[in-house]
A and B are shown apart, each in its own frame.
Chain A
Amino acid sequence: MTFTVLKSIKVLNPKTSFNEISDVVVCSDKIFSICKDFKTEVSQQDKQINIYNCNGLTMSPGLIDMRVNIGKTENLTATQKIAAENGITSMVILPNQTPKLNNPSIIDHIKRQSENPNLTKVNIYGAATKDDQGLEMSEIGLMSEMGSIGFTNGNKSIKNSLVMRRLMSYAAMINRPIIQHAEDEDLSGLNKASTTLINGEMNEGEVSTRLGLIGIPSCAEVIIVERDIRLAKLTGASYHVAHISTRDSINVIREAKKIGLKVTCDTAPPYFALNETSLLSYNTAFKLSPPLRNEDDRLAVIEGIQDGTIDAIASDHRARSKDTKAQPFSAASVGASGIETLFLMTLELVHKKIIDLNKAISLLTINPANVLNMKKPSLEKDELADFIIFDENYPNVINQNNLKTSPTPFDQRKIKGKILGTYINGQATYINQILKDKIIK
């Protein structure tokens, strides 16, 4: 039996509101003990014991990233590994892949393919409809038996109101949430079938006017959110809006929550850390969907995070090859990498005194678990040892050249914090040299 002892580490456990410096002992895949002063003699008869001096470091449950796109050129296993190195012990992938994750056998296949006790756990959103037309419901019951934890059309909006109504009714029956990318595709000019000539590229406003890029009005988001909330009320479904980005949508969700509807939402770091002015140089790393909004929307996202209207922060990871980004803005691909910056950018909210650390960790752990009816991660005796160790004040700079996925919209951003270790099922999936050097025995 191998024991790992983390001496004098600040344990942050949002589920129990525990926040104290303790000694944490991990044995096999469980947390063996969390106590004030762990006596090493107790286990001296055991064969191996690793003791780390974690003075000044913090431990929290492993992060749950509720929105990860696995692109055409990405390999799931590689992404799991990168996620683990960045503190994500559990992630949910979107169905927009080739082939589409729209039937039970492929869900089963991905589940099996991704199963690895030493890597980030993979959960799956099944495709809500069989194809992009969005007219026929997928076998969402069978897919949920295979482990799909929610249903969505990923990067596309579920557009048809009747289809949405029925999806919600059916999903409520099997107790699964519907996750929506809220965007009126006719209004944003992304509906290929329509006769409009536009193809929305960025948020509509002064910046789009200056750049001569086609604007997507911010109300394209709230139009869908408002409709869906009415349908959620009608059907009693759990409805979740992904990567929310505008003040209007956040206001609507706030009201829906007040009247007790099962409505939740998440946002992603670009929407609280950046605004549309980043695009002024036509830098395609900022070409995202939803597009970066104006400063007022960004502030609304921050308010939403503060007052709990926004339940969770997800990476919205959508890595893109350099080739598809080194293009004129209009021709460039949409999306940016996120799993490598999710934790650091969320921590930035703490350093900017927008939220406290406990709240930040909640947004990345128990909150997404709540939204998706997953088991709530907790750092307690006999709980599964999925956790991270980090230095919240480590001076750091996000540098594209040091990242494994691209493009990051946060290149050259000065931040504080660093993940030093990630444990999954009690195994050190990732240990940074800084932590390795802290080993006492």
Chain B
Amino acid sequence: MNKLKKNKNDSFFSSAVKLSSNHLLAIEGMEKSEIQKLIERADYFANLDRHTNTKVLQGYVVLNVFFENSTRTRVSFELAARRLGAEVINISLINSSIKKGESLLDTASTLNAMRPDLLIVRHPHSGAPLLFADYLNCSIINAGDGRHEHPTQALLDALTIKRRVGYLEGLKISICGDIANSRVARSNIHLLTTMGAEVRCVAPCTLMPSNLENLGVKCFSNMKMGIRDADVVMLLRLQNERMTGTENPSEREYFKFFGLDEAKLALANSNAVIMHPGPMNRGVEIASALADDTNRSLIKTQVEMGVAVRMSIIEALNHTKNKMMKN
């Protein structure tokens, strides 16, 4: 019995993805083949019965270090790591190290001294995980840094689309909302354009970052035009503090022009699906009924796919490290 289990694990291990880096810091710069393999591997995990033994990373220590509030991402990473048999320690550092006056690098090197295999970092400052990767010797996964990237979200979004539609290449995908401040948007732009999708970005001009078209997307400030014939409508969260002030006059004005409702959705492809990285503001980005429309909304599937994608990444990083050590 034991032997059988071991063999099973061996074959399971052989298909782990080898990455070109020890870390997953950003989608920008990743090879198409690498993305493809990670998605395929995640698809495999998503199809597995939840009770299948996938505990190949026993003794592997993961620190989930969050400098910013998060529920879904933290839990998703934790579940993924646990399903692979890893030990997970959650550390919430929201304001705590700042209060003590400790520098970020001191905090990081303290954690590093405990010899984790993997540090999963979410930080409010763009580029912070790169700093960790420069100074620490464990693998780093960027779980969202400032306005920069949220690579695992883009991978899980890609997996969600792929499972529903079957492919990414040539799809018309409209990303709508606060593009300027969204790391989800940036990672998705890089991933989807790399995979050959036609990406459009829709945002009020106050929330559209400059020269975005240089990233290979089309930009729209008119949502009706931006989602015309779209196969996927991806909505972004509008932070509370941006709902009024100088970026938007009011919630209701935002909903009128940039919230997804039946009328606007009717302009998209008749099979178009709706996505949202969550947490969503019902009645601001999306009409509540649409969010719950299981035929169109993939919002819950996205959450489910999160675990599978993160399993494939954690497994890949471990595999990559082992390969690098052997060489």
Q: Which residues of A contact B (CB under 8 A)?
A: 195-197, 204-206, 208-215, 217, 281-282, 323, 326-331
Contact (Cβ within 8 A) B210 A209: yes
Task: Specify which chain B residues have a CB less than 8 angstroms from the CB of A323 in the assembled complex.
Answer: 103
Given A209-B209, A211-B127 in contact, is the A327-B104 Cβ separation under 8 Å? Answer: yes
Report the minimum CB–CB distance from A211 to chain B (whole Å). Answer: 6
Contact (Cβ within 8 A) B211 A282: no
Tell me the chain B residues, 163-213 only, with Cβ under 8 Å from chain A.
Answer: 183, 186, 209-212
Task: Specify which chain A residues have a CB less than 8 angstroms from the CB of B183 in the assembled complex.
Answer: 212
Can you show 9 pairs from A to B with CB atoms below 8 A apart? A195-B245, A206-B214, A209-B211, A210-B215, A213-B126, A213-B148, A328-B146, A329-B126, A331-B125
Task: Specify which chain B residues have a CB less than 8 angstroms from the CB of A209 in the assembled complex.
Answer: 209-212, 214-215
Contact (Cβ within 8 A) B103 A327: yes
Given A212-B183, A212-B186 in contact, is the A328-B125 Cβ separation under 8 Å? Answer: yes
- In the complex, number of A-B residue pairs with CB atoms less than 8 Å apart: 79
Report the minimum CB–CB distance from B230 to chain A (whole Å). Answer: 22
Task: Specify which chain B residues have a CB less than 8 angstroms from the CB of A331 in the assembled complex.
Answer: 104, 125
Task: Specify which chain A residues have a CB less than 8 angstroms from the CB of B123 in the assembled complex.
Answer: 328
Given A210-B28, A210-B215, A323-B103 in contact, is the A204-B127 Cβ separation under 8 Å? Answer: no
Task: Specify which chain B residues have a CB less than 8 angstroms from the CB of A330 in the assembled complex.
Answer: 124-127, 146
- 0/1 string, B88-107, CB within 8 A of A gives 1: 00000000000000011100
Of the candidates A195, A204, A213, A281, the one whose C-beta lies within 8 Å of that of B130 is: A281
Of the candidates A206, A208, A217, A328, the one whose C-beta lies within 8 Å of that of B104 is: A328
- 0/1 string, B19-55, CB within 8 A of A gives 1: 0000000001000000000000000000000000000
Report the minimum CB–CB distance from A189 to chain B (whole Å). Answer: 11
Q: Which residues of B contact A (CB under 8 A)?
A: 28, 103-105, 123-128, 130-131, 135, 145-149, 183, 186, 209-212, 214-215, 241-242, 245-246
Contact (Cβ within 8 A) A212 B148: yes
Of the candidates A195, A215, A281, A326, the one whose C-beta lies within 8 Å of that of B210 is: A215
Given A195-B245, A205-B210, A331-B104 in contact, is the A213-B128 Cβ separation under 8 Å? Answer: no
Of the candidates B212, B215, B246, the one whose C-beta lies within 8 Å of that of A196 is: B246
Q: A281 to B127, alpha carbons, bound, how many Å?
A: 8
Q: Which 3 residue pairs of A and B lie closest in terms of their CB atoms, listed nearest first? A: A212-B147, A212-B148, A328-B125
Report the minimum CB–CB distance from A436 to chain B (whole Å). Answer: 40
Contact (Cβ within 8 A) B211 A205: yes
Q: A282 to B129, alpha carbons, bound, how many Å?
A: 11
Of the candidates A195, A197, A208, A326, the one whose C-beta lies within 8 Å of that of B209 is: A208
Task: Specify which chain A residues have a CB less than 8 angstroms from the CB of B211 in the assembled complex.
Answer: 205-206, 209
Report the minimum CB–CB distance from A203 to chain B (whole Å). Answer: 10
Task: Specify which chain B residues have a CB less than 8 angstroms from the CB of A214 in the assembled complex.
Answer: 147
Residue of A nearest to B212 (CB): A209
Given A210-B28, A212-B147 in contact, is the A328-B128 Cβ separation under 8 Å? Answer: yes
Of the candidates B104, B105, B126, the one whose C-beta lies within 8 Å of that of A212 is: B126
Report the minimum CB–CB distance from A329 to chain B (whole Å). Answer: 5
Report the minimum CB–CB distance from B229 to chain A (whole Å). Answer: 26
Contact (Cβ within 8 A) A212 B145: yes
Q: A326 to B109, alpha carbons, bound, how many Å?
A: 13
Residue of B nearest to A201 (CB): B126
Contact (Cβ within 8 A) A328 B126: yes
Report the minimum CB–CB distance from A209 to chain B (whole Å). Answer: 4
Q: A162 to B206, alpha carbons, bound, how many Å?
A: 30
Task: Specify which chain B residues have a CB less than 8 angstroms from the CB of A204 in the assembled complex.
Answer: 210
Q: A195 to B104, alpha carbons, bound, how many Å?
A: 28
Interface centre among B105, B127, B209 (most CB of A within 10 A): B127
Of the candidates A281, A326, A329, the one whose C-beta lies within 8 Å of that of B125 is: A329
Q: A147 to B15, alpha carbons, bound, how many Å?
A: 75
Q: A285 to B183, alpha carbons, bound, how many Å?
A: 24
